[in-house]
Amino acid sequence: MPDPSDEEVLAALASASPDAVARLRAAVDDYRSAPGRLVEWRGGRDPAGSAPADSAYPVYDDRVWELLGALQAVGAFVVFDWMHWKRAAVVRDLDLAASAPIADLARLVTVLLRGERFGDGVIAGAVEAGVLPVLAERVLGYLDGAPGARS
């Protein structure tokens, strides 16, 4: 099965239901306004060196998962060959996220979710770099202007 074109990705986003768009809007607001840390790293070597070494792993605040779930609900999850995608560097690059095409931002959600499954911390990179909320706000901005995707 070939990867979807940009037009197909944008059409999927444009068909988002008003409820899904409202969910994304609420998730962005909650993510941006709620206090506290969004990622906490646990595990790893005990600083005193008295415990065995563990692999560090991220624990994500519910706001991170809700934002990612809301992005999926509006169609920002694309089935494609994400492991060989040349633009995956957007995950940790705020400037690229701010200027990437909207279809690539939808693909990025796939990279985040699939990448996290295979390696802890992929989502953390996007959170810590500030990419995740920018990605969501840009998708929401597209939806606000897309025909058939009114909230």
Give the number of other CB atoms < 10 A from CB of residue 104: 20
Q: What local confidence, expressed as pLDDT, does residue 42 receive?
A: 87
User: What is the DSSP annotation of 75-135?
Assistant: T----S-GGG-TTGGGGG-HHHHHHS-HHHHHHHHHHHHHHHHHSTTHHHHHHHTTHHHHH
27 CB-side CA count, 13 A: 28
To the question of pTM greater than 0.95 for the whole model, the response is no
- Delimit the domains of the chain by residue range: 6-145
Does residue 101 have a pLDDT over 70? yes
Does residue 114 have a pLDDT over 60? yes
The proportion of the chain whose per-residue pLDDT surpasses 70, expressed as a percent, equals 89
Closest C-alpha to 139, from 111, 110, 97, 81: 97
Q: What is the mean pLDDT of the chain?
A: 88
Does residue 151 have a pLDDT over 60? no
The proportion of the chain whose per-residue pLDDT surpasses 90, expressed as a percent, equals 66
31-68 per-position pLDDT tens digit: 999 788 999 998 876 666 665 556 788 999 999 999 99
Does residue 4 have a pLDDT over 50? yes
Does residue 86 have a pLDDT over 90? no
